[in-house]
Chains A and B, each alone.
Chain A
């Protein structure tokens, strides 16, 4: 378990909290509301984008476990615009935490299917997306990977 003070809160509004874990060059965006209006969503992620660029973040966790409404236009922007722009800035390792709800996972699958049909599968090429169940799991994975990197 990591000491709480190793995580620095960079940004917080009524919808999201952005935390930074310097040791692993990890940024965590945790959703704190059931729904994020698209304008706020874009604003937050544009801020995250700048932060990732300036802080040389290599791992990004999007913790959507509190989310209950999957907003397709927001997700389309996130997939088709935000992620590729971050790939150009060197961030390719994305981790996602979904709510433990079968219907939500189905909604995500449906939304992702629609986006990939619209933009083609190449839109996510070179981007590693891993679904995980907790922040601890991500940290263990990254630490394990780092252990074997010479």
Chain B
């Protein structure tokens, strides 16, 4: 090879380097531009979620309504992305109070839409009818979900949860549960899981839900919770929090009032979760009779 060969090769190399540098610089500019667009979209989505969170939170009831009827009551809702499918419903009626904890299928935006709709339907039912049977309330909610979210004769909205009705006239408490999770801590301090129907709300248009009477004594507590609390992954071995760990948390603090217990349970959840993401929407409600 003569000198001209190497001279030409050097020129070609310089040219190749310049073209590649220019190409990389164009690619980088394109990436910066796309990144900016993504950031803007992300900001828009977060802003929308923030406002949606405000809308959904505004529908949550005042826990003080329950304090009119019981010694103490508190609840906590923590949706996975700020909005979600868990909802708390409390409404006083002419003869008592209705209270529910419902967990819509899924999480995020669709679950939040279902959850808001569920709250509005419950409000509509309890406003237009004098409900004194929680199983009727679940049955009506189930039917309304099928007529509202009908997709080929199947409701696309599903809920799990429990509805309670306290009658001031008879001083009785009854409940109906569609795969809902409820603990009762009796006066001996023992914790009992309350029975539940094995079907969820929205499964079939004419589902029947069982009504249970729950005799209670002053000082006893109930804890309604969604599976977001017990299914949270975490701990040293990245396992679920579980219902038995929740039970133990309550048992470990027999002298705490409802407000303190609410904080203890939530802190236990956060400690268990650690740096993991929140697994699901989470809610729980504590009532002391």
Contact = CB atoms under 8 A, between A and B. Distances in A.
B8 interface: yes
A107 B1 contact: no
Residue among B8, B16, B17 with the highest chain A CB neighbour number at 10 A: B16
B20 to A, nearest CB: 4
A107 B20 CA distance: 5
B5 A107 contact: no
Contacts of B24: 106, 110
A37 B13 CA distance: 12
A37 B12 CA distance: 9
Contact of A110 (B5, B8, B9, B23): B23
A34 B8 CA distance: 12
A34 to B, nearest CB: 7
A109 B23 contact: yes
Contacts of B9: 34-35, 69
A32 to B, nearest CB: 12
Which DSSP category, helix, strand, loop or mixed, fits chain B's interface? helix
A66 to B, nearest CB: 13
A71 B12 contact: yes
B8 A107 contact: no
A138 to B, nearest CB: 26
B15 interface: yes
Which 5 A/B pairs are nearest by Cβ-Cβ distance? A110-B23, A35-B9, A71-B12, A110-B20, A107-B20
Given A106-B20, A106-B23, A107-B16, 15 more contacts: A34-B9, A35-B5, A35-B8, A35-B9, A69-B9, A71-B15, A72-B12, A72-B16, A103-B20, A106-B24, A107-B19, A107-B20, A109-B23, A111-B16, A114-B23
